[in-house]
Chains A and B, each alone.
Chain A
Amino acid sequence: AQSVTQLDSQVPVFEEAPVELRCNYSSSVSVYLFWYVQYPNQGLQLLLKYLSGSTLVKGINGFEAEFNKSQTSFHLRKPSVHISDTAEYFCAVRPSQGAQKLVFGQGTRLTINP
């Protein structure tokens, strides 16, 4: 079975500051990793994913994440945030083979202050 822990439930930052949203996972098998974003009153939108290959993956809206197998982490980063990045961010994993269900973390609410 897999589990995901997002260490911060809320992260407030100032506009144009860098941000890192932390995600750690646990799994006995190899996994694919995902970050989803949920803007107010909208569905979950995929930001980026790690399947294999380069451990640094780039996504939409200037976000990137680094897969660290030894630390079982997949932290999300952005060098300079905008007001429009205010949203809930979810880290998710699923096994690379077999079951397709996603296992989510509890989410991190990112609030950008002017």
Chain B
Amino acid sequence: EPEVTQTPSHQVTQMGQEVILRCVPISNHLYFYWYRQILGQKVEFLVSFYNNEISEKSEIFDDQFSVERPDGSNFTLKIRSTKLEDSAMYFCASRGQGANEQFFGPGTRLTVL
């Protein structure tokens, strides 16, 4: 069964460093999403991406964040200068054309020290 994969599973970084979180969506999906969950809090929407551009973003998704689909398979989330409060589990999701269900990856746990 096709699934969304994410790498790495756990990333530890120093405050101020750049990180790139990687996702491989399900191959025929066209809509891509990033969500995050700070420990003990709700899963929050960050951004949605379709046809090589951002279709919607939340207030959290400020200039420090960017997304890219550098090739036909990967979908990345970059945080340019990490802050302590960026520590969270980051989930990637994808959705097929005409579908209502988003398929989620296992997440990347980001720890900013």
Interface residues of A (CB under 8 A from B): 32, 34, 36, 41-46, 49, 51, 90, 92, 99-107
> Complex formed: what's the CA distance from A51 to B99 in Å?
11
21 A-B contact pairs sorted by A residue (CB < 8 Å)? A32-B100, A34-B101, A43-B6, A43-B105, A43-B107, A44-B43, A44-B93, A46-B101, A46-B103, A49-B100, A92-B43, A99-B56, A100-B31, A100-B56, A101-B45, A101-B58, A104-B35, A105-B42, A106-B41, A107-B42, A107-B43
Interchain nearest-CB distance for A20 vs B (Å): 21
Provide the bound-state CA to CA distance between A100 and B95, in Å.
Answer: 10
Of the four ranges (under 10, 10 to 19, 20 to 34, 35 or more), the interface on chain B belongs to 20 to 34
Closest to A42 in B: B106
Besides A43-B4, A106-B42, 13 more A-B contacts (Cβ < 8 Å) are: A36-B104, A43-B107, A44-B43, A44-B104, A46-B101, A46-B103, A100-B31, A100-B33, A100-B48, A100-B102, A102-B45, A104-B44, A105-B42
CB neighbours (8 Å) of A49 from chain B are 100-101
Which chain B residues (85-113) contact chain A, with CB distance < 8 Å? 91, 93, 95, 100-107
In the assembled complex, which residues on chain A have CB atoms less than 8 Å from the CB atom of B104?
36, 43-45
> Which residues of B lie under 8 Å from residue A36 when comparing CB positions?
104
The contact string, 1 if C-beta is below 8 Å from chain A, for chain B 19-61, is: 0000000000001010100000111110010000001101000
